[in-house]
Structure 1
């Protein structure tokens, strides 16, 4: 590994991030091709819907200049054919001298086979360049393949007193426009956004991405609604260009389903526990089976607590405004304060950023999936 390997892989990771929220059920991957004398001649990232793959795009850009050069890929090239040639075979055909790969793919259809094909063809393979960064980008894919659920990011917005404002049928803002815009950027990078029915009743949100020019990047909207009591006149049904999935209890009387289906909702039954309640893990596994890899959980307090109690929060993004919410505020974890997460040894603060008077902190779970990254 050389310093230039890290620089080029960092460029490939920037490309990979561009596809987040758009490529499910496939991971978002970045790839660049560099000639032997250091000229960047090809670059690509996974296209919306998951095809074509990043490597195919980068190789097409580079053309014959790939031969003798180096291809950088943020995730091991696939070894299975889908709607085209497997990426490992496409790389072999292009004849680079080297392949630099950040992260092995645990998908059993690849799982080291892509790397083996490159080595068998005489291509020198360097693994483990910027592995941690690549794992962060590919976390949704890793969690879905290895643990059968999407990666979960919990988003909270609280006042200076650590409390959540109560909506009265419409959203109540505790942070300013810049922090809220950043929250919409989180939506654009997620496959799905999840709330409970209580949030629909209290805030009546649209749950779309409202950044200029980015409405097309709105995630699937998922509502946990055990008995399908979401009001058909809720605002989220006003824009059905973005799907709405209502997760309900399996075996419930679905008499309420028809008016919701007429509004465009898709009804998704999931198993319930011994008390007839939806287990959030079962909900996540159902979403993963539908191809979802990254879920943004936006509330409210009961839902946030359910995910935290079930140890299903991989990252938390907390926005804190400068004003107190006051006596009407809610504890962010339905009876527990922020320190339930920020004071836990399970999470560490990895980033902090100011948006005017507002502050955003990013917390990451210390225990994450086993990545099985070492070279065979």
Structure 2
């Protein structure tokens, strides 16, 4: 039976992934209803926050045929009243006999309670099939629920000799057109893009995703301890395209006139209580931002790395040689790709993308 169950759970995972980039702050969820004879009766996925959950869509597709069938779901069905009703009640009412779930929901409003509700009403519940795949699929949601902060993706471009800029304070473009296109496609999939104040002062970016379709606006975040971001910064001219959050410290917030000027332009100024990068991330977590693409510069990248809050690294290695005057991020021995897991390498024109999950002894 395990092999058959795996086939249907893989199908549910496939459907879950179809909601990528649209469901946040909700998780990606897929569901499949299967008859006792192994016939797929209905399937569905969670398309957007506030819309029907995957289980409901699958049950609606199955209709009356769902009675006595099995439901395969990538995440524990919800049991609380949110913008949509509890899925567990719909499952019981539909007459589902067995529920196979990949992972328990880390949300404290749900965690384990959905299973308990179903079992108390005579539904057989099996948990843990394809759990690793389901967890990887929902890394941003799991990180937000468990740690109260976004899942952090560090994105960097380096020269062949390991530098991220030709000199401090000098605008440097290292990557090729194919790599730039790839980076912008990934921008469109995250909740927020973050940069440090030096990037704003040197590059003056808008922090948008060019040339790709995005269904919902994303948040732009500037990490600025002393609140030096100028009112003329280009990112502030695009507040109507999506929220702009400037995370500062008590020192920066003390510049009350500048705070008001930034807020009048449409930005939000948030204070990180103890001035650490971790505290800054917690402020984003309070706003239910599940994923953050951290793009630079060197100071903010180093702060995130040193505080061990980087979850995934996307490294573009270019054929350029900068020389010893270049700006490096961390010593090469600290930033060793051999310590990553699920590592992947992809050529992008003349550049090479190396990416993987960060795994360091703790």
Q: What is the TM-score normalised by the length of structure 1? A: 0.87
Aligned to 1:373: none
- Count of residues in correspondence between the two structures: 359
Question: Distance in 1 between the 2:82 and 2:10 partners?
Answer: 28
Task: Find the residue that maps to 1:101 and give its secondary structure.
Answer: strand
Indicate the residue corresponding to 1:354 in structure 2: 347
Moved more, 164-173 or 129-138: 164-173
Q: Identify the range of structure 1 (354-363 vs 11-20) with the bigger mean alpha-carbon deviation.
A: 11-20
Q: Aligned pair in 2 of structure 1 residues 255, 228: CA closer, same or farther (>3 Å)? A: same
Name the counterpart of 1:321: 318
Aligned equivalent of 1:3: 3
Return the alpha-carbon distance in structure 2 between the equivalents of residues 237 and 41 of structure 1.
50
- Distance in 2 between residues matched to 1:90 and 1:30, nearest whole Å: 16
How far 1:303 moved relative to its partner? 0.7
Residue 296 (structure 1) shift: 1.4
Give the aligned partner of residue 269 of structure 2. 267
Residue 363 of structure 1 deviates from its aligned partner by 2.3
Contact 2:159/2:318 (8 A) holds in 1:
yes
Does the CA contact (< 8 Å) of 1:34 and 1:40 recur in 2?
Answer: yes
Residue 341 of structure 1 aligns to a residue in which SS? Answer: coil
Partner Cα separation in structure 1 for residue 172 and residue 42 of structure 2? 46
The answer (yes or no) to whether the contact 1:33–1:59 under 8 Å persists in 2 is yes
TM-fit CA distance, 1:172: 4.1
In 1, Cα distance between equivalents of 2:158 and 2:296: 12
- Of 301-310 and 315-324, more deviation after overlay is shown by 315-324
Report the more deviating stretch, 222-231 or 165-174: 165-174
Cross-structure match for 1:108:
108
How do residues 177-192 of structure 1 correspond to structure 2 at under 5 angstroms? 177-192=177-192
Contact 2:199–2:297 under 8 Å retained in 1: yes
Distance 2:234 2:79 in 1: 44
Kept after mapping to 2: 8 A contact 1:209/1:217: no
Q: Find the aligned partners of 1:300 and 1:56 in 2 and give their Cα distance.
A: 44
Check conservation: 2:153, 2:311, Cα contact below 8 A: yes
Distance 1:349 1:111 in 2: 27
Alignment of 1:153-192 (within 5 A): 153-166=153-166, 172-192=172-192
CA distance in 1, matches of 2:306, 2:4: 44
Q: 1:328 to 1:42 in 2, by over 3 A?
A: farther
1:307 Cα offset (Å): 0.7
Query: Secondary structure at 2:116's aligned position in 1?
Result: helix
2:64 partner SS: helix
Superposed displacement of residue 50, structure 1: 4.6
The alignment status of 1:364 with 2:357, answered yes or no, reads yes
TM-score w.r.t. length of structure 2: 0.90
For residue 134 of structure 1, what is the aligned residue in structure 2?
134
Partner residue, 2:16:
16
Kindly state the Cα deviation for residue 22 of structure 1 after the two structures are TM-superposed.
3.0
User: Aligned partners of 2:150 and 2:80: how far apart in 1?
Assistant: 22
Match of 1:284 among 281, 287, 290: 281
Mark the CA change 1:349 to 1:61 in structure 2 (over 3 Å): closer, same or farther.
Answer: closer
Q: Which runs of 5+ in 2 are unaligned?
A: none
Matched, 1:307 2:300: no
**Alignment partner for residue 295 of structure 1, among 288, 292, 295?**
292
Equivalent in the alignment of 2:327: 330
Which residue of structure 2 aligns with residue 372 of structure 1? Answer: none
Corresponding residue for residue 223 of structure 1? 222
SS of the residue 1:317 aligns to: strand
Q: How far 1:306 moved relative to its partner?
A: 0.3
In 1, Cα distance between the equivalents of 2:120 and 2:259?
Answer: 55
SS at match of 1:83: coil
The alpha carbon displacement at 1:291 in A equals: 0.8
Distance 2:81 2:337 in 1: 47
Q: Deviations over 1:332-371 (max 9, x none)?
A: x2xx2344221675x33522222232211122133699xx
Structure 1 position 166, deviation (Å): 5.0
What residue in structure 1 maps to residue 89 of structure 2? Answer: 89
Q: Corresponding residue for 2:32?
A: 32
Distance 1:52 1:155, change over 3 A: same
Q: Is the CA contact (8 Å cut-off) linking 2:168 and 2:326 kept in structure 1?
A: no
Q: 1:258 aligned to 2:255?
A: no
- Determine helix, strand or coil for the equivalent of 2:257: helix
